Amino acid sequence: MSEKKLKVVIVGGVACGPKTASRIKRLLPDAEVTIIEKGELLSYAGCGLPFYLSGEVHDYKELMCTPAGVVRDTHFFKMVKDVTVLNQTLVESIDRNKKAIKAVNTLSGKAIDIEYDKLVLTVGGTPFIPPIKGIDLKGVNFLSTIDDARKIHDEEKNLKGKNAVIIGGGLIGIEVCESFVKQGMNVTIIEKLDRVLPALLDPEMAYHVHNELQANNVTVLLNDAVVEIKGDDQGNVKSVKTNKTEVPSDLVLIAIGTKPNITLAKQAGITIGTTGAIAVNEFLCTSDPDIYAGGDCVENIHLVSGKPIYAPMGSTANKHGRVIANNICGKESMFKGVLGTAICKVFTMNVARTGLSEQQARDEGYDFITVLNPSPDKAHFYPDAKLIIIKLIVDKKSRTLLGAQIVGPGDVAKRIEVVITSITNGAMIDNIANYDLAYAPPFSPAMDNIIHAANIAQNKLDGIGKSISPVEVKKKMDNNEDFILLDVRSPQEYEEIRIDDTRVKLIPLGKLRESLHQLDKSKEIITFCKISLRGYEAQRILAGAGFRNVKFLDGGIVCWPYKKLVK
């Protein structure tokens, strides 16, 4: 008698589902694998949708192709993978006792019953729909699927000169913003919090993204919320009304977040986690030992805090698929968690982050220091060296990284990868400072930016470098505290750009030792320069001269996110 074939049913396509199916068939070629997808399209790169809208990806089918250019459609999965695909089919219920699902073909209405040995839920997430009046008007859009992107691409013709309003300053909103600008639209972003990318960046880092948006003629409305989308008598959107203003609009994109699709799992009695997504263990198994789940419908464990988080990412979904398939096929595999890593491009600026933000670290009760390090991403003399600003959050007790944020037109990707690897492996700042990273002038400074940032952290942890953040200095200004803001740059630099405050005193670093008598030892002194390399030197000079209350301004004037006087 032949051995019974393993029957696996996967509910959901796009990333995690097809990845799971493909891996299972590689490990167990005789397994009967069926993917059920409610939409028409099975597998595509959802993260590429903004670039389809911008025209950088010319045909949406490119998002469905393998690297070899073959479209990953139902025919491909059947002929190449030997996977049965039932697209345009909606799963209505799961019978866990009978180990069967009930589904219906959305075109014919035909009912379908399928038994399984193992069931995999990769049902993804959907855009959060706010209760705003006028949300059903023509011209109001979401961006979650290829169909959403095709709707905007095909229906919204002749975009040049038209007004687009993006509700939400998160990743999707920021990425699509550039796409709309490239189409010649007048773009306004409305964000209810005090900064763009609020879930990813601390205020002083988000400031640089805000500036980049404004430099590209994007209007950014912060600390404001939409109360109504208004339409004309034909049912077309015409404006967006907020608490503070009203913005004319021909097109609205709502991008205020994603929520996990949990209805099917909840109805089946599968445990839902504290984040509102499906709870899974480290093997990505749900509360039912024969049902796995992955992708945007599940919660993950944060590798720093150890707590569940909801962090939907296409990269994570693909990793989930491999882990699920391994476990179904008897190859024990664990998924330990995520760091909330994200990276994006905002016009000429690159943005990356991982781990905990400063506020998250504070909320978790960590005792930490922060580092701001602005410097060129290549040797300073190399022709196309570009600025990047690194912010590190470092635990005082363990001397390990809690998180990092990097912004700038230079190469942020390779530095965030170093941070990710370090956090994942529990490396101390002292280890990072001695990493044997690849060096040549076209690729990095001799002391790479991340190594330099680690050195700054070492100095702070060891009590050698004493600093203060721009946010803390601004609070002192607002509280009218009496201190000296000592600028140690050259007079020429001072004339070109300077901090706008009466407490600023200019003494170039080369003249500081002979000018100590000009400084009041009883006052707090905060030293700075362009990037605070000279500011740190000044802090050490003053400390050596008996000044007891001296700090340098983290990141210098480059990282000062407030008003500056520019020549």
H/E stretch holding 337: none
Residues 146 and 195 in one domain: yes
Q: Is 411 contained in some domain?
A: yes
Residue 426: enclosing H or E segment and its boundaries?
A: none
Alpha-carbon span 564 to 557, nearest angstrom: 9
**Of 387, 366, 556, 539, which is closest to residue 473 (Cα–Cα)?**
556
Mark whether 435 and 453 lie in a shared domain. Answer: yes
Q: Are 147 and 116 members of one domain?
A: no
| 529 catalytic residue (yes or no) | no
pLDDT (0 to 100) of residue 156: 62
| Burial class of residue 257 (count of CB atoms within 10 Å of its CB; 0-12, 13-18, 19+) | middle
Q: Which residue has the tokens 């000009």?
A: 518
Across 413-440, b (16+ Cβ under 10 Å) vs e yields ebbbebbbebbeeebbbeebbeeebeee
- For 50, the enclosing helix (H) or strand (E) is helix 49-54
User: Which of 410, 445, 461 is the C-terminal boundary of a domain?
Assistant: 461
Q: Which of 272, 321, 275 is nearest to 302 (CA)?
A: 275
**What is the extent of the structural domain holding 487?**
467-566
H or E stretch including 21? helix 16-27
Note whether 506 and 554 are same-domain residues: yes
- Do 227 and 153 fall within a single domain? yes
The per-residue pLDDT for range 127-143, each reduced to its tens digit, is: 999 999 999 999 999 98
Look at residue 135 and tell me if it is in a domain. Answer: no
Sign of CA dihedral 89, 90, 92, 93: positive
What are the helix (H) ranges across 442-517? 449-461, 470-478, 491-496
Residue 281 lies in a domain: yes
Domain final position from 206, 241, 256: 256
Q: Are residues 387 and 308 in the same domain?
A: no
**Does a structural domain hold residue 333?**
no
Residue 487, domain member (yes or no): yes
Q: How many domains does the chain have?
A: 4
Give the ranges where 393-448 is alpha helix by DSSP (H).
413-424, 429-432
Catalytic residue among 47, 297, 329, 559: 47
Q: What is the DSSP string of 510-557?
A: GGTGGGGGGS-TTSEEEEE-SSSHHHHHHHHHHHHTT--SEEEETTGG
Ordered per-residue pLDDT tens for the chain, 567 residues: 457 899 999 999 888 999 999 999 999 999 999 999 998 877 777 787 887 777 787 777 777 777 767 777 777 888 888 999 999 999 999 999 999 999 999 999 999 999 999 999 999 999 999 999 999 999 999 988 888 888 887 766 677 889 999 999 999 999 999 989 988 999 999 999 999 999 999 999 999 999 999 999 999 999 999 999 999 999 999 999 999 999 999 999 999 999 999 999 999 999 999 999 999 999 999 999 999 999 999 999 999 999 999 999 999 999 999 999 999 999 999 999 999 999 999 999 999 999 999 999 999 999 999 999 999 999 999 999 999 999 999 999 999 999 999 999 999 999 999 999 999 999 999 999 999 999 999 999 999 999 999 999 999 999 999 999 999 999 999 999 999 999 999 999 999 999 989 999 999 999 999 999 999 999 999 999 999 999 999 999 999 999 999 999 999 999 999 989 987
Q: In the prediction, which pLDDT does 2 show?
A: 53
As a whole number of angstroms, the distance between CA 137 and CA 448 comes to 51
Domain boundary residue, one of 221, 241, 256: 256
Tell me which amino acid residue 486 is.
Answer: L
Shared-domain flag, residues 154 and 176: yes
- Identify whether the C-beta of residue 414 lies closer than 8 Å to the C-beta of residue 353: no
Distances (CA, A) of 1 to 4, 116, 449: 9, 21, 64
Q: Which residue has the tokens 């803390």?
A: 472
Gap between the terminal Cα atoms of the chain: 87
Separation between Cα atoms, residue 382 and residue 431, nearest integer Å: 28
pLDDT for position 360: 96
| Positive or negative: CA dihedral 353, 356, 357, 360 | positive
266 and 217 assigned to the same domain: no
Within 10 Å of residue 339's Cβ, how many Cβ atoms? 22
pLDDT computed for residue 62 by the predictor = 78
Per the CB < 8 A criterion, the answer to whether 99 and 115 are in contact is yes
Same structural domain, 117 and 19: yes
Domain of 207, CATH number, reads 3.50.50.60
Q: Is the dihedral of CA 399, 404, 407, 410 positive or negative?
A: positive
Which residues, other chains included, contact 287 with Cβ-Cβ below 8 Å and sequence gap of 6+? 270, 271, 279
Query: Do 348 and 212 touch, CB atoms closer than 8 A?
Result: yes
- Residue 41: inside a domain: yes
